[in-house]
């Protein structure tokens, strides 16, 4: 079992729809959770961070965390073609030198 798992996709949604991205992790000691967006050939760019159970909203993005289920998700509302990218889930355990453990990423395509 991989430490951080994501559906590889591709996930395809029409413009204006809600895109839902999911991530599960195996380390119950993880405390910090991040969603990064990565365009082809570019480096990861932080979209959202979440540290406690529940929802966190920032503009069109909502991160959801459920530590009991070891599950974190990202919702993108009113999806735009510019949201087309790979979304990487990363998990951190402060007792592990705070290095990020990454999923493989989910490819999202938003169709005009």
Partner 1 sequence: DTGVSQNPRHKITKRGQNVTFRCDPISEHNRLYWYRQTLGQGPEFLTYFQNEAQLEKSRLLSDRFSAERPKGSFSTLEIQRTEQGDSAMYLCASSLTGGANIQYFGAGTRLSVL
CB of 112 to partner 1, least distance (A): 25
Identify the three-state secondary structure at position 111: strand
Nearer to partner 1, 18 or 46 (CB): 46
Which residues of the shown chain bind partner 1 in the complex (CB under 8 A)?
Answer: 4, 32, 34, 41-46, 49, 51, 88, 90, 92, 94, 97-105
H or E stretch at 6: strand 4-6
The distance of closest approach from Cβ of residue 109 to partner 1 in the complex, given in angstroms and rounded to an integer, is 16
For partner 1, the closer CB: 19 or 105: 105
Please give the C-alpha separations between residue 33 and each of 30, 59, 85, 105, 109, in angstroms, as whole numbers: 8, 18, 19, 14, 23
CB 20 within 8 A of CB 60: no
Q: Which helix (H) or strand (E) is 38 found in, with range? A: strand 32-38
Q: How far is the CB of 103 from partner 1 (least distance, A)?
A: 5
Residue 47, exposed/middle/buried by CB under 10 A (0-12, 13-18, 19+)? buried
Which of 36/76 has CB closer to partner 1? 36
Q: Which is nearer to partner 1, 7 or 17 (CB)?
A: 7
Q: How far is the CB of 70 from partner 1 (least distance, A)?
A: 17
């Amino acid at each position: 079992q991989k430490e951080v798992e994501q559906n590889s996709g591709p996930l395809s949604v029409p413009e204006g729809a809600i895109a839902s991205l999911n991530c599960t992790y195996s380390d119950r000691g993880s405390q910090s959770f991040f969603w990064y967006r990565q365009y082809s050939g570019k480096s990861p760019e932080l979209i959202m961070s979440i540290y406690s159970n529940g929802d966190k909203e920032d503009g069109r993005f909502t991160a959801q965390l459920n530590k009991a289920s070891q599950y974190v998700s990202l919702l993108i509302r009113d999806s735009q073609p510019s949201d087309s990218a790979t979304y990487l889930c990363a998990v951190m355990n402060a007792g592990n030198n705070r290095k990020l453990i990454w999923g493989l990423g989910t490819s999202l395509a938003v169709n005009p």
